[in-house]
Amino acid sequence: MITFVAILRFLRKSQDIPVAFIGLTAAWVGYIGQSIISVNQLGLAIWGWVLMGALLGFCLDDSRSASAKKQPVEGRILSKNSKELISAGLALTLFLGMGLGSIVSVMPLYRQVAVVSALKSGDIKRIENQAYAAPTSAFIAYNLGSILSSNNLNDESLRVARAGVETFPKSFELWTLLSIQPGITEEELREATNRMRLLDPFNPKLK
């Protein structure tokens, strides 16, 4: 939290952001992201402290930003320090992009963790609900539907298969899962067979 506050204060008071600051912040954000989804280890923890200390030192070094402001820029000749600076707006855009990317990348992992947790619980309703939870995927729906079917939970498996082919009509696996359900209607069986032939026209088992 202290590091995050220091970063925000540095962004507010600086018109131009050094590239080194962006690199340190990106590395620190990456460390925080991996620490959320993985077990902390001593080697990784050390890098976390190193990055945090480097960022705090950078943010608290007021002389850096003051010296950068005092350096004149004449004509089109830029000093070495000014070349290493980028606008605060671009830096903020980069940070927002990294944050959004982290959220998008964590969501599929969160779904996998939720699915595993539901399977370990043995709660049938909870397992079925995971097949519909967002962000859903054909892979998750098929696997959960197959598990329910293999445990003779035919009603639950049929509901998962029907919902799956409606959401993912181009999934051969889900149409296959639907076709083997005991409670399927003749119309659904014909449609499932036709869909499988369309998706895999060279499959000899569908001739």
Q: Is residue 169 very low, low, confident or very high in pLDDT (cuts 50, 70, 90)?
A: very high
> Is the sign of the CA dihedral 178, 162, 198, 143 positive or negative?
negative
Mean pLDDT of all residues in 23-51 = 65
**pLDDT winner (highest mean) among 58-62, 113-117, 141-145:** 141-145
Crossing angle (nearest 10°) for helices 88-121 and 19-37: 10
Q: Does the pLDDT at position 161 exceed 60?
A: yes
Cβ atoms 114, 133 nearer than 8 A = yes
Question: In 3D, which of 131, 122, 181, 113 has the Cα closest to residue 152?
Answer: 181
Lowest mean pLDDT among 49-63, 144-158, 172-186: 49-63
> Which domains occur in the chain, in start order?
2-66+87-108 (no CATH), 122-206 (1.25.40.10)
Q: Is residue 199 very low, low, confident or very high in pLDDT (cuts 50, 70, 90)?
A: very high
pTM of structure:
0.54
CA trace torsion 119, 120, 124, 129 (10° rounding): -50
CA 8 to chain CA centroid, nearest Å: 24
Q: Does the pLDDT at position 148 exceed 80?
A: yes
Q: What is the pLDDT of residue 33?
A: 67
What Å distances lie between residue 83 and 78, 90, 105, CA to CA?
6, 15, 33
Q: Does the pLDDT at position 77 exceed 50?
A: no
Q: What is the pLDDT of residue 74?
A: 47
